[in-house]
Structure formats: structure tokens, C-alpha cells
Amino acid sequence: MTLSRCKKTLLSLAGMASLLLLPLQASAGGLPTPEQLQQLAPDISLNVLQLAMGAVKCANATLGDKENFLTVIDFSRPSREKRLWVFDLRAMRLVFDEWVTHGKNSGGDVATDFSNQPNSYQTSLGLYRTGETYYGKHGKSLRLAGLEQGINSNSEARGIVIHSASYADPSVIPSLGRLGRSEGCPAVRPAVAQPLIDTLQQGSYVFAYYPSQQWINSSRFLNNDYCPAGRGTQRAAL
């Protein structure tokens, strides 16, 4: 190979390497696509991410707010697996990939029952917005404001918050066969609770998913008639 050809080859390889190092580029509107988020977190179903991003687009269009972070919880997965992901939508990066609990009356290892009712001790589905922090029996906790009437709208009255819990640590799985369970809150392990809450209090949507047709069909954030801003994204995921 001549010196000239060698230089051209090296330049070509350098160019390819630089492309691999480039950050993911946002789609039109400044938001990542579901496919881009799945590149960051391959364990999440693309269908779940399509629904989550459709809900975010709808919320941005109808509520006038644009949160920097998106938290996705897939309650169709067992509690012994990681099923909570936090994305920085501006920087296009995965910030957390964690275990999270569900309500004790929602099921054992896998949640199957969900409720918006007080004292149900069940998890609620749907889109939330993070609220204020406070210090309680679980230390620093983060309030969740449910945005879906009849689905999670009682979250504040029920005291649904993100908080620390020893029973949310995967070290309990060998003895229990699952994580411990909460009274409906998405609790996380103590080692990650503080940094996770500090991140989300800056502003995050929280999308709690389960393949419930009743919820998906009734959610205003997943309804193309209500929210044309996300048209095509939501129903394509079903």
C-alpha cells in the first residue's frame, strides 16, 4: 500500500470512529425518538417507549410544560428485574437503570392489579409529574402528581411518592424470591434513592406502564383524538 493510500485509509477510519462518538441527535421538536432511547436502554420494549414518548409529546402540547427527564417504569416485568429507567431528554443519556417496588395488593413478584383508590395499597398506572420533596419516615421523598383522571389522580391524596426502602434492595430477592412491596409507592433501594430523587426533583415525567387495554384506551395522553401532537406514535405501539 502506498503512503498516500495509507493516509486515506487512516483518515477514513478516523472519520468512522468520530461518528461513533457523536451523541445521539434529537428528533424534530428536540425530543429523542423511542428508537434512540432503546439504544440507551436495550432492555426496554420499543412498544413501551413508543407509548411513553407519545404521552410526553401530548403532555408537552397540552400542559405547556417540558420536563427535562423521563422516568419509565415497566410493571409488566417482575420485581426481581430492573424495571425503572431515567432518561435525560436534553443530554440524550440514560441516568438510572434500577429496581423498583409495587404495591403489596398489586401482586407478588409481578404486579397484575392496579388502583387509584385510597387504602387500596395498589400501584397506579399512567403519566405523572414529579412534585415537591419532603423528609418523612423514609428520609427524603419525592411527591408524584398523577395527571390522569380516574387512573392516578388520587396519587397526592394517597401519599404516593418515590422513597427509599430497604425492601427495595435486590439483596432481599434470594430470601423472598422478589423485592418487598410498598403501600403503592415506587420505592427504590437506599443506595440510589438520594441521587435519583435529587435528579428527578429538577422535573420529570414518570410513565408507569402495564399492558392494560382499559388504561391505554382511556388515557387522554395516549388518545390520538385528544392529543394530535402525538398522533400515530401511541396507537402504533399497540
In a domain, 42, yes or no: yes
In a domain, 17, yes or no: no
Read off the C-alpha cell for 21.
462518538
Read off the C-alpha cell for 20.
461513533
In a domain, 44, yes or no: yes
In a domain, 66, yes or no: yes
Give the per-residue pLDDT at 184: 98
Query: For the residues 26-39, what does the mean pLDDT come to?
Result: 83
- Tell me: the pLDDT tens digits for 88-99? 999 999 999 999
Number of domains observed in the structure of the chain: 1
Query: For the residues 201-226, what does the mean pLDDT come to?
Result: 92
> The whole model's pTM is what?
0.85
Query: For the residues 180-189, what does the mean pLDDT come to?
Result: 98
In a domain, 2, yes or no: no
In a domain, 148, yes or no: yes
Among 25-29, 60-64, 76-80, 85-89, which is the least confidently predicted range? 25-29
In a domain, 64, yes or no: yes
Q: Return the CATH number at 179.
A: 2.40.440.10
Read off the C-alpha cell for 176.
423472598
Read off the C-alpha cell for 160.
404516593
In a domain, 6, yes or no: no
In the block, which residue shows the cell 434529537?
Answer: 26
- Tell me: the pLDDT tens digits for 142-162? 999 999 999 999 999 999 999
State the pLDDT confidence band at 29, using cuts at 50, 70 and 90: low
State the pLDDT confidence band at 229, using cuts at 50, 70 and 90: low
- Tell me: the pLDDT tens digits for 87-132? 999 999 999 999 999 999 999 999 999 999 999 999 999 999 999 9
The CB density around residue 93, as the number of other CB atoms within 10 Å, is 13
Q: Is 186 exposed, middle or buried (0-12, 13-18, 19+ CB in 10 A)?
A: buried
Give the per-residue pLDDT at 226: 74
Domain that holds residue 149: 29-237
Among 6-10, 42-46, 192-196, which is the least confidently predicted range? 6-10
